[in-house]
Amino acid sequence: MKRVSSLALALALLLGVAPAIAQRDGVEVGNNSGFTKLVPAEDIEQASRQQYAKMMQEAASKKALAPGNHPQVQRLRRIAQRVIPHAVAWNPRAKDWQWEVNLIGSNQINAFCMPGGKIAFYTGILEQLQLNDDEVAMIMGHEMAHALREHARERMGKSAATNIGASLLSQLFGLGDLGQTVASIGVDLINLRFGREDESEADLVGMELGARAGFDPRAGITLWQKMGAASKGSPPQWLSTHPAGATRIADMERNLPRVMPLFERARKG
């Protein structure tokens, strides 16, 4: 019994969340999951860089990668330049990320931000939804939030805990090398799907990021209204595992009082 209790205590300490941060303005979503500690951030970010580079090379070979002087690429990068400075408050590692923003020619209603700040939009989401800058900023903030809150790392940590089992835990408790964890799990970081809790969290963090950058957070609501209209009863790829539109709109409306002051402050500044 004592042996089991010791293991339980060690696991609790390993996965325990950090002490609560001081009261802050903006949204409240709690601390990052303790499961992120099971996989080194450096490994995931390295895998992300490799997968992103390969995807951009493939897009370029198919003449689907928009050039840097493309008006929509310049637009996306301008928006990113305003939002990225606010990322560090959510994840200190973000200050060292090599951020990239690219546009891929595709009818998909899709966008993503991989660990390490690798962002891509598809032309379909811009053209089919006719997004204004505020709405683009809400999508960008949402996708950045997944990277900043380390949702991919959390997913992989859970896989490590459940699939690799005792041998991995032995390495962890002995401070062993986890460098092969990412490869052994084999996660496709570009097409990784997140759960509803992660998506709801990303909505709120994304609203705050956009608001602090001077983009109207109410655009999150118009964005999801457009998404709902575009889905026509059959959710596009970007929506497939996300919470229902009405639910996420209600959540965003409840949090508007927390982010509107940030938007007003940024607009005046």
Catalytic sites, residue numbers: 143
Give which of 122, 116, 120 is closest to 147, Cα–Cα.
116
**Closest CA relative to residue 86, chosen from 140, 124, 48:** 140
- Relative to beta strand 111-114, strand 100-104 is unpaired
CB 112 within 8 A of CB 129: no
**DSSP symbols for 45-109:** HHHHHHHHHHHHHHHHHTT-BPPTT-HHHHHHHHHHHHHGGGSTTT-GGGGG---EEEEE--S--
Q: Looking at this protein, which amino acid is placed at residue 260?
A: M
Give CA–CA dist 97/254, Å, rounded. Answer: 32
CA 214 from centroid of its chain's CA atoms: 20
Helix H segments across 97-244?
123-129, 133-148, 151-159, 166-173, 181-185, 196-212, 219-231
